[in-house]
A and B are shown apart, each in its own frame.
Chain A
Amino acid sequence: MLIASYKRPVSLVVLADILAFGLLFFYREPHDFYILGVGLLIITLIAGTYLFIVKKELGDEYLFLIVSMLASVGFIMIYRLNRGLGFKQIVWFSGGIVLFFLSYFIYIRIKIWNKLMYAYAFASFGLFLVTLVFGSNIKGSTNWIVIKGFSFQPSELIKILFIFTLACYLTHSEQIFLNALTLKLKQIKIKGRIALMAIVYMFMGFLVMQRDWGTALLFFIIYITMMYVFDADMKFLLLNVIIAALGGTAGYFALYHIRVRVVTWLNPWADIAGKGYQITQSLFAIGSGGFFGTGLGMGRPDYIPEVTTDFIFSAICEEMGIFGGVAVILLYFLLAYRGIKIVLKTGDTFKKAVALGITCMFGFQTFIIIGGVIKLIPLTGITLPFISYGGSSLTTSFIQLGILEAVSREGGQDEGSISDEGSISDEGR
């Protein structure tokens, strides 16, 4: 089975991993033999998972491939930066694959996902409240829960709940109100929208309270995107954008933290030793790499603060070059493209909305953090999906991927074929 699959694209991922782990093994003396074992484990895990997906016809076969390449890049970089974190990331990665299958099968097995809007919203607010009450402040954001030395970021899980909440509303907008209140259909819809808006702004409000601006922005973009696609009322959309613009402006003047972010974005050089330190160190790293990079292990990405999480893209650019960075961006683009394709193939509104939400979550999150570390947009600290170090981020990303995979299978079943790519792509016929 393995031999027969050498033509499949997974061989490229395996090849890249062999090269990277070989480099990691050789670049420093004394040689670290663990890395070879770990490399073998990773390669086996990726190849095995991939062949399982293909053989069992679980759905889109490229999603996992793209993601495993991204995760490989992340793992290689994290290991090179910090050996201990590298090993931990492997554990998260393995756990992520388990969660990927778990969420895949659970999602397919349970059929009432689209009727649980209140459950999602209440679970989210519950998690938010727990975070606010018991949360610890790590890196300036109060969005961590620490239990016996094990820290967890509930907002990562809330991302999924948020998508499901939106999808429920968009599928059955009547869910949002008790039947007793329905008098005319039209009225319900307008009221429903406003109620949904209130719920969304509550999500964002909690995030702002945790000073998690990046995720708040992300949620707003997802909300707008979903409303744009599934709810045709442009006036309402415009209203939301205006409210957000006003809110943003008010926040700029009222909240010192937001002002600082904008100021350091416009001119980080004015306070290079203080507020501008992170972003300028990031730019130094990207600039030092050039187009081809210094080579793995040859740069000094360890000068960048938060390099294994928020700023990992800068480290990739330093050692793998702008071309390496662009390759990573293109991989995310491919992921978004596959996601959108799944959305298009899916007929069921709820599943469509879920798939779109997850795809947008990956895509926009990537844009917000990469744009931030290269100073295209103001910096807001969120993780780079599948690459940044972190258990919460990696595992929940895999849960989302599992759900997306499940949707792809159900969407694909409409066509009667999944594994044979040739017959899928003839929508236009």
Chain B
Amino acid sequence: MKGAFRMKGAFRMKEDRKVIHILIVMSVLFLSLVVYLTYFELFVKDRIITNSYNQRQWEAEEDTIRGRILDKNGIVLADSPKTEDGWKRTYPHGSLYSHVIGYNSRTYGKSMLEASYNDYLLGSERGIFDFGNRDESGMRYGDDVYLTLDHELQKLASQLLGDRNGAVVAMNPKTGEILALVSKPAFDPNEDKLSANWQAMVESEDAIFLPRATQGLYTPGSTYKTVISAGALENGMEDLVIEDKGTVTIDGKPFSNTGKKAYGKIDMKKALAVSSNVFFSQVGVELGENVLRSLADRFGLGKDIPFEIPVTKSRFPYDSMGKTDMASVAIGQGKLQVTPLHMAMITSCIANNGVMMKPYMVSRVVSHDGDEIKVTEPSVLYNVMSTQTAGAIKLMMREVVKSGTGKSAAIEGVNVAGKTGSAENELTAEGEAKNHAWFISFAPVENPKIAVAVILEYSGTTGGGSAAPIARELMKAYLKK
């Protein structure tokens, strides 16, 4: 009983309080294990388990017939036919979809849609209580993935690009559906071709594996003047007239039009049509750093673009801006960088009355038995500007094709709007005539059905001369349907 008496009171010894501290430390450590495991499960694992060193992902493939990938009209773009040595992933159109669908290879892993839609393609999203979707031998069928891409348009875009390096993005401005997504150079993702060419492709200076449309960063050049126009219109400059003498000096640095051509007294519509650097560089300085910065932010520069395959963020990397920086940004030069997909989205946003739609290219996932597993609905990404502002820019871009630098994009009987651009790069900085050629456009102006962005790397030509015809042919083909 004497012992029991000693027990009374919270702690018998001064050590006991410290023992409690040790218990607290251990609790924190154990809790950190639980928290980290949860964090890992929620935020980390999706990124890592598709790594080609994870041999598990091929396990599911042993008893699953990988789902097909089809275009909007049901043309098969990736298939898994049975061969002598089992089911084999094949890409009937060779290099055409290498930067969209990617590849599925035991040696090289998975990329693009093959990676991001792996769970659907293997049917593992259906869960363990799925007893249908099997063939006679008990092989499971994966789900088929239908794209919004139009195979004919994709083929045409690729043909038009030819062997030039660059990218073409075509989308429906009202929904955000991607209609064509071509990056060149491309490669054949079939397993045998992949292993035959891998080493050479890895070592190639052409960056063959770079999906230019979604991950290539380019200076937007004069195409960015459409964005600046939105800023100018919102800040009461719709009636601004500037005397264009061919060159203007800002903070000691000259800003010149192409060929130092002088246009005399011009308003904004004319300035956009002829792509006057003199006009827009001064507008940029007038708008000031804050407006330029918030414009870029509203149009999505520096933000993640949600998409089914990885997209690089467009960049607006200024810590602080001097006047020459403001002038450079206003004519789309300087440190600005955008992806062709993003440029197509900006074009679509103008076409769609200032509403930027979330881009997507997987329309639905359908099981082998025909059940719809997943359907993508169009959704708004950002409300960027008012209908009036967008309407005014539309008319200005119409003028570019009607009478300005983008005439070669004109289609008979259709009102086409567009904007040319030529982007400086590391070669033009050395004085070589090797700028990138840009063209963005949409049609018809009154009811836009397609928006196109085209870039040709190091073409040395103007956007109007080389990129605009590609956009024209695409829009023509699409609108004829």
Contact = CB atoms under 8 A, between A and B. Distances in A.
Given A225-B22, A428-B10, A288 B56 contact: yes
A303 to B, nearest CB: 5
Interface in A342-359: 343-345, 347, 349, 352, 356
B32 interface: yes
Interface in A292-348: 299-300, 303, 317, 322, 325-326, 329-330, 332-333, 336-337, 340, 343-345, 347
Given A322-B38, A414-B3, A352 B15 contact: yes
A283 interface: yes
Contact of B37 (A273, A277, A286): A286
A284 B11 contact: no
A295 to B, nearest CB: 8
Given A340-B23, A344-B19, A356-B19, A329 B30 contact: yes
A363 B22 CA distance: 10
A228 interface: yes
A427 B10 CA distance: 6
B19 A288 contact: no
Interface in B27-54: 27, 29-30, 32-34, 36-38, 40-41, 44-46, 48-49, 51, 53-54
A229 B7 contact: no
A343 B41 contact: no
A333 B40 contact: no
A415 B8 CA distance: 10
B22 A374 contact: no
Tell me if A's interface is mostly helix, strand, loop or mixed: helix
A371 interface: yes
A352 B22 CA distance: 13
Interface residues of B, number: 42
A376 B51 contact: no
Given A322-B38, A344-B11, A370-B33, A284 B4 contact: no
A107 interface: no
Given A284-B56, A286-B40, A322-B41, A363 B26 contact: yes
Contact of B15 (A229, A366, A413): A229
A380 to B, nearest CB: 15
A146 B37 CA distance: 37
Contact of A416 (B1, B12, B13, B26): B1
Given A286-B37, A322-B38, A303 B8 contact: no
5 closest A-B pairs (Cβ-Cβ)?
A287-B45, A414-B3, A284-B54, A287-B49, A229-B18
B44 A287 contact: yes
A26 interface: no
Contacts of A287: 40-41, 44-46, 48-49
B37 A374 contact: yes
B386 interface: no
A303 B15 contact: no
12 contacts: A229-B22, A277-B53, A280-B48, A283-B40, A287-B46, A287-B48, A288-B56, A322-B37, A352-B15, A374-B37, A376-B32, A416-B4
Given A280-B51, A300-B59, A336 B32 contact: no
Nearest to A414: B3
Nearest to A343: B19
Given A288-B49, A336-B26, A356-B22, A414 B6 contact: yes
Contacts of B125: none
Contacts of A415: 3-4, 7
Interface string B45-86: 110110101111001000000000000000000000000000
A376 B53 contact: no
Nearest to A276: B53
Contacts of A344: 11, 16, 19-20
A122 interface: no
Counting chain B CB atoms within 10 Å of each CB, the highest count among A283, A344, A371 belongs to A344
A376 B29 CA distance: 11
Contacts of B48: 280, 283-284, 287
A184 interface: no
A414 B49 contact: no
B4 A414 contact: yes
A177 interface: no
A336 B20 CA distance: 11
Nearest to A291: B41
B129 to A, nearest CB: 13
B26 A329 contact: no
A427 B18 CA distance: 17
A367 B29 contact: yes
Interface residues of A, number: 56
Interface of B: 1, 3-4, 6-8, 10-16, 18-23, 26-27, 29-30, 32-34, 36-38, 40-41, 44-46, 48-49, 51, 53-56, 59
A364 B29 CA distance: 9
A157 B23 CA distance: 25
A429 B6 contact: no
B55 A374 contact: no
A299 to B, nearest CB: 8
Contacts of A374: 33, 36-37, 40
Nearest to A284: B54
A284 B14 CA distance: 47
A322 B6 CA distance: 44
A330 B27 CA distance: 10
A352 B53 CA distance: 49
A210 B29 CA distance: 27
Nearest to A228: B18
Contact of B19 (A280, A299, A333, A340): A340
Contacts of A345: 7
Interface string A369-382: 01100101000000
Given A340-B22, A376-B36, A414-B6, A290 B54 contact: no
A288 B16 contact: no
A269 B53 CA distance: 10
A118 interface: no
Contacts of A65: none
A232 B27 CA distance: 23
A303 B23 CA distance: 36
A272 B14 CA distance: 50
A361 to B, nearest CB: 12
B30 to A, nearest CB: 5
Contacts of A413: 3
Contact of A347 (B12, B19, B21): B12
A406 interface: no
B254 to A, nearest CB: 47
B53 A273 contact: yes
Given A300-B59, A360-B22, 10 more contacts: A229-B22, A232-B14, A284-B51, A303-B56, A322-B41, A325-B37, A336-B30, A347-B13, A360-B26, A370-B33
Contacts of A414: 3-4, 6-7
Contacts of A286: 37, 40-41, 45
Contacts of B32: 371, 376
Contacts of B23: 336-337, 340
Contacts of A325: 37
